[in-house]
Amino acid sequence: MNSRRDFLQKVSLGLGVTALSSLPATANTIPEPFVRPEKQLRVALMGLGGYAGIVAEAMQNCKMATLVGLVSGTPSKIDTWKQKYNIPEKNTYNYENVGDIKNNPDIDMVYITTPNSLHHKHVLQVAAAGKHVLCEKPVADNARQTREMIAACEKAGVKFYIGYRMHFEPHTRELIRMREAGELGKIMHVNNYMGFKSGDPNQWRLKKALAGGGAMMDVGVYALNGARYATGEEPIWVTAQESKTDPVKFKEVDETITFQLGFPSGVIANCGTTYAFNNCERLYVIGDKGFVELSPAFGYGPIKGRTHLGPMNQPVVKHQTLQMDGIADIILNNKPDPNVTGQEGLKDMIVVDAVYESIRKGGQKIFINKA
C-alpha cells in the first residue's frame, strides 16, 4: 500500500442516507429517498489531491452540501475538475489569490485538504476572506497553531470545523450511544490502534516540513480521538514510546508510536499507530456490563463491529457524504454539533503535543496541561 489514501480507500458501498448530525448521538441512521432541497451549503475544495477526489465524489450524493468551487496551485487540475464537476471559472482560485474568495457570494465554506503543515496558513487565509472553514485532520502541527486558527475564525465571525468523519459514521455513533445510555456499564479499558504500511519513500507524508510529523499526526489521531469518544472523558496524562525499523525512510518523521492515556475515572487506553505494517485498525472498549469492538474501525469502510449482544447491523455508508451533509445541517439549520469543531481538534492536538514530549523525555509520564 503506497499511502494512507491507498490503505483507506476500501470505499464503502455509498448508500445515500440522511445527515447524521441532525440526529442526537443516541439515534440511528434511517435511509431516505434522495431529495435535494433548495437550501444548500456551497463548498469550495482547497487542495485537489487524492482525498479531495474522494470528498468530491461523495458530495455528488449529498442533499444539503454542494461542490461549487476549487482552489489549487496546479492549473491542469483546475481545468480537469472544472469539466468533471461543472465548476464555473469565476469560482476557481489558486493559493496566491484565494483571498479574493471574499468577493464571491456563491461560496459559503472552504474545505481544506492540503498537506498537514499548510493547514495553519490556509485556515488563516480562508478565515480572513470571511468564509466558513472545514479543515482536514490533523488540524495543525501543534496546539499553539490550532489556538491561532480558532482565534482567527472567531475574529472573522466564521465557523471552524475539522474533518472528523467518524463522528458521523453509524457504527461509531452507535458505540457512543451505547456508552452514553449506560449499556456498557462503567468503562474499564480501551484498546485501539490505527496504522498501515507506508510505501513511496518520497511522498509528502514522510517530509516533516509538509506533514508536521509521521504516523502519530497522520493516523494516530484516529486512535486518540477514538479513545476520547469511547470513554467520554478527556485524558489527564500520557506516556509514549517510539520505535523505528527503517531509520532512513523515516528519518524525518515517526514510524511507530505506542501511547497510553490515563483518564480521570482511572481508565487507561492502550493505543498505537504505525507506518510500518498493515492490518492495524481496531477500537475495543470494555465496560463492566458489555463491550464494543470495531474492526475495521477508522478506514473509509466498510466499518464492521460487534458487541456483547452480537454483530452490529448499522448501515454501510459513504462517510464523506454524511460528514458534508451533517456539517451543512449544522450551519444551515443550527443543529447540534457532534464534536467536530476547532475545539475538538485542539483537544487532540494538546494530547499529540504531550505524546511527542513524552517520547523526547524517554517515555516519561506527561500530565496534560489544557491551558
Q: Which of 137, 159, 249, 347 is catalytic?
A: 137
Residue 308 DSSP code = T
Type of residue found at 327: I
- Would you state the torsion angle of the CA atoms of residues 286, 287, 290, 291, taken in this order, to the nearest 10 degrees? -20
Cα distance between residue 349 and residue 262, in whole Å:
16
Q: CA 314 from chain center: how many Å?
A: 20
CA atoms within 13 A on the CB side of 85: 29
Nearest of 235, 234, 238, 224 to residue 365 by alpha carbon: 238
Integer Cα distance of 174 and 268 in angstroms: 22
**Active-site hit among 51, 93, 222, 356:** 222
Nearest to 325 by CA among 17, 13, 7: 17
What stretches of the chain show up as alpha helix (H) in DSSP? Answer: 4-8, 50-59, 75-85, 119-128, 143-156, 170-180, 208-211, 215, 221-231, 319-333, 342-360
- Answer yes or no: 222 catalytic: yes
What the block records as the C-alpha cell of 45 is 475544495
Place of cell 507506508: 198
Asked if 85 is an active-site residue, the reply is no
Q: How many CB atoms lie within 10 A of CB 118?
A: 20
Residues with active-site annotation: 137, 222
